[in-house]
Chains A and B, each alone.
Chain A
C-alpha cells in the first residue's frame, strides 16, 4: 500500500494560495441547486404511504419508511411483557445517555436499550466541538441568528431559542462532571471558529470532543440506577390505549429472541441514517446508524420534517480507500486549512457553510478538476500545512492529534502532504418532528438528538448537534419521566402491534401487493456477496 500512497503523492501540484473568488448570494444558490445532493433530481422517490405521503425523499429513505416489519408471520404478543419500566430509552449515544441520567434523577425506573454498547454512536466520533455562545461580544441571540441563517431560515424558532438559551447551562453540566474542554491561559473555555458562524463559539477537547464526552457520560450512566441492555436494538414500537406508545419490541442480537418491553413513556434517541449510504456516498457515521427510530415512529404515524435534507460533510477522506468516509473536522478549516483542486487552485472560501463547500467540491470533481484516486474516485486536496505556517510549527499536531494519528497509520502525514477529501454523508438534518419538550405527534413517544427534526432547518452548523443532544436529551428525560408518572395505568392486554398491521395493509394497497423491503436493517451488510 505504501507504494500506492507514495505514487499518489508524487503527483501533487504546486498549491497556489491565491484566495478563491467571493460568492454572491445568487452564486451560492446556483451552486447548491446545481450540485448539492438534496437538490438534485436523481435518486429520489415520492413517499406514497404514511404521514409524509407526497414528500420527495432520497430513494434509500423511501425504502426505509415504506417497509415491512421485521416481525413477520402471526404477531403474537406474549401473555406478559419481558420487562416493565416507567421510561424506556432507545439508543445509547449522547442524547439517550443524557435523557437516561435526567430521567433517573426523577426517581422513575429507566431502561436504556441500545444496539451495540452504550456510547457506540455518532456522538463518540464527534471531533470538532460544541457550539455555545460564551465569548465577549457574542450572545445566544447571535448564536440564534447564525444558526437560522445557516439552516436557510427553515429552523423551528422555538426549538432554536431553547437550544441557544439553555446551551451554556448544559456546558456547565458537562464541565461539572469533569469533562476536560480546552482552556485558554486565563482558564476560560477556548472558543474556536466553525463555518457559517459570525463569532468563535466552538468548545472542544482537542479533536477528541465526542470521545471525551462519551467516556465520562458512559461511566456516569453505568454507575447510575439506569438499567442498561446492550446489543438489543428496538425493532418495533408497541401501541397502547388511544394510539399512545406503550413500549417496544427489542431484538436480542445474541439470543436472537424478541424482548417485549412495556413502558409508560418511550424516548427515541436512535440517531441518524449514514449507514444507508444515500446516493452511494461514503459515511462518517458509526456502524449502527440505519435510521431505526424514523422507521418505527413512521409506522406508528409520527410526522417527520425535513426528511429530504441531509448533511454531506465536505471533508471526508477518500484516499486511501480503507479510510473512506472518515471525517476531517471542519475545525481544521476554521484554523486555516485550505482546499485545492487538481490544478492546485483554491475554488471556494473554506469557511462557507457545509452545504456550499460540499457543493463546490462536487462541482470541481464533476467538471474535471478533481484529483483521481487509483480506484477511480475523485477528490480535492485539503492542506493542513498552512495551519502550521500561519499559527506556528506543531499547531496541527497539538490541536488535531487524532487526525494526525489516524492518517499517519495509513502512511499519510497531514502536516506535510494534503489529505484527499470528498463529501461524506454525515448528518440527517431533519427527522421526527418534535416540540420544545421533545414530544412527537404520538402520545408518550418522545424523541431527542439526531433522530429528531426541525431544529437545524435544512443545513446544520458545526457544533449544534452536540449541543442539541444535551439540551434536548435533558428535556426529553425530564418530560418523559413526568409523563410516565402522570399516565393512567393500562393493562398489557391493551397493548398491540395494530399500527404495524395497518401500515402494512396500507403498503399492500398502495404498492398493489408488490413485495416491500424489511426494515430497520439494523446494520449495513458489507460481506462479500459471493462468500
Chain B
C-alpha cells in the first residue's frame, strides 16, 4: 500500500482522533490519515496486515457499538470515527523456552491470570484476525498446546484482545508461550533435519563442495549450467 486509492473520486466524512475530515472513498484508515496530512510513525509497520502495529478503535455514526480493526487493512466508511491504539501496555513473561521442564504447569507461573478467564468472549469478538481467542485461552489452561498453536497461527500480536479482556490478561502472549512450548517441547525433532545435520557433521558433502569452490568463475558457471 502507498499513497492513495486511485479509483475513487467521491469523498466520505470521517473523524480522525476527534477531528472531522473528508477523505476519498476506498481509502484505508492509514491512507485517510496520510490524505489529511498526518505523519504516522507510531502505528505503522508492514502496511500488509501482519505486523500488528496499527490496532485501531472506531465507531460508526448512529451506532453505539465500539469496534476494532487493523488500520492498514480497513477501508474508511462514511460516518466512521477512529483513533489508533499505537501500543497497548502488556506484561510479558520472562522465560527461556529451552529451560522449561513442565510447560503446562509453568504456564500458571508465568501467566497466573490465564486461569481467571471469565468466558465473556470479548477477546474473540474483537480479534481482527478472526481467531477464537477465548477458546485458545481455555485450551492453554487445559494444556492442549497443539490446539492453541492451530487456533492462533494467524495472530499478529496487535494486542486488541488485551484491550477488551475483563480479566486483564494478555491472551496473545499466553498463546505465544503455548505455541513455543508445543514446538520446542512436545513435537519430536524433525527426522529429515536430524539426518541432514548428521551428514553435514560427517563431511558427506565436503568433497563436492570443495570441488565447486576450487573452480574458476567460468568453470563454475559451466558446472552449474548457468545459462546466461
- Give every chain B residue within 8 A of A157 (Cβ-Cβ): 212-213, 220
Query: Which B163-220 residues have a C-beta within 8 angstroms of A?
Result: 176, 179-185, 187-193, 196-197, 199-200, 204-205, 208-209, 212-213, 217, 220
Which of A161-169, A235-243, A363-371, A495-503 has 4 or more CB atoms under 8 Å from chain B?
Answer: A161-169
**Smallest CB separation, A335 vs chain B (Å):** 18
A180 and B149 contacting across the interface, CB-CB below 8 Å: yes
A171 and B193 contacting across the interface, CB-CB below 8 Å: yes
Closest to B50 in A: A211
B228 and A153 contacting across the interface, CB-CB below 8 Å: yes
Residue A343 lies at the interface, judged by CB distance under 8 Å to chain B: no
B73 and A286 contacting across the interface, CB-CB below 8 Å: no
- A374 to B96, alpha carbons, bound, how many Å? 52
Query: Which A354-368 residues have a C-beta within 8 angstroms of B?
Result: none
Q: Helix, strand, loop or mixed for chain B's interface? A: loop
Which of A321-329, A380-388, A482-490 has 4 or more CB atoms under 8 Å from chain B?
Answer: A321-329
B184 and A177 contacting across the interface, CB-CB below 8 Å: yes
B5 and A116 contacting across the interface, CB-CB below 8 Å: no
**Smallest CB separation, B6 vs chain A (Å):** 4
Residue A148 lies at the interface, judged by CB distance under 8 Å to chain B: yes
- Give every chain A residue within 8 A of B5 (Cβ-Cβ): 320-322
Closest to A374 in B: B7
- Give every chain A residue within 8 A of B213 (Cβ-Cβ): 157-158, 161
B26 and A1 contacting across the interface, CB-CB below 8 Å: yes
Q: Digit string of A217-230 for contact with B (CB within 8 Å is 1, else 0)?
A: 00100110000000
Interface size range of chain A in the complex: 35 or more
Residue A104 lies at the interface, judged by CB distance under 8 Å to chain B: no
Contact of A528 among B26, B37, B95, B225 (CB under 8 A): B37
B180 and A175 contacting across the interface, CB-CB below 8 Å: no
Contact of B193 among A32, A172, A177 (CB under 8 A): A172
Known: A322-B5, A324-B1, A325-B1. A175 touches B189 (CB 8 A): yes
A172 and B197 contacting across the interface, CB-CB below 8 Å: yes
Residue B31 lies at the interface, judged by CB distance under 8 Å to chain A: yes
- Give every chain A residue within 8 A of B181 (Cβ-Cβ): 178
Closest to A23 in B: B227
- A155 to B192, alpha carbons, bound, how many Å? 28
Interface size range of chain B in the complex: 35 or more
- Give every chain B residue within 8 A of A136 (Cβ-Cβ): 192
B44 and A116 contacting across the interface, CB-CB below 8 Å: yes
B48 and A284 contacting across the interface, CB-CB below 8 Å: yes
B187 and A149 contacting across the interface, CB-CB below 8 Å: no
- A133 to B196, alpha carbons, bound, how many Å? 8
A140 and B205 contacting across the interface, CB-CB below 8 Å: yes
Query: Which A151-197 residues have a C-beta within 8 angstroms of B?
Result: 152-153, 157-158, 161, 165, 168-169, 171-172, 175-181, 183, 186-189, 191
**Smallest CB separation, A373 vs chain B (Å):** 8
Known: A153-B221, A178-B181. A326 touches B48 (CB 8 A): yes
Contact of B46 among A124, A191, A531 (CB under 8 A): A124
Contact of A124 among B4, B45, B205, B223 (CB under 8 A): B45
Query: Which A107-141 residues have a C-beta within 8 angstroms of B?
Result: 116-117, 119-120, 124-125, 133-136, 139-141
A165 and B130 contacting across the interface, CB-CB below 8 Å: no
A125 and B180 contacting across the interface, CB-CB below 8 Å: no
A402 and B154 contacting across the interface, CB-CB below 8 Å: yes
Known: A189-B192, A526-B2, A531-B37. A169 touches B50 (CB 8 A): no
Known pairs A25-B228, A139-B208, A322-B75; list 8 more (Cβ under 8 Å): A161-B209, A211-B156, A219-B92, A286-B51, A287-B44, A287-B46, A322-B26, A325-B2
Q: List 9 A-B contacts (CB under 8 A).
A: A136-B192, A149-B224, A152-B226, A175-B193, A176-B184, A181-B190, A188-B190, A286-B51, A531-B37
- Complex A-B, nearest 7 residue pairs according to Cβ-Cβ distance, in ascending order: A178-B180, A375-B6, A178-B184, A153-B226, A178-B183, A531-B37, A120-B45
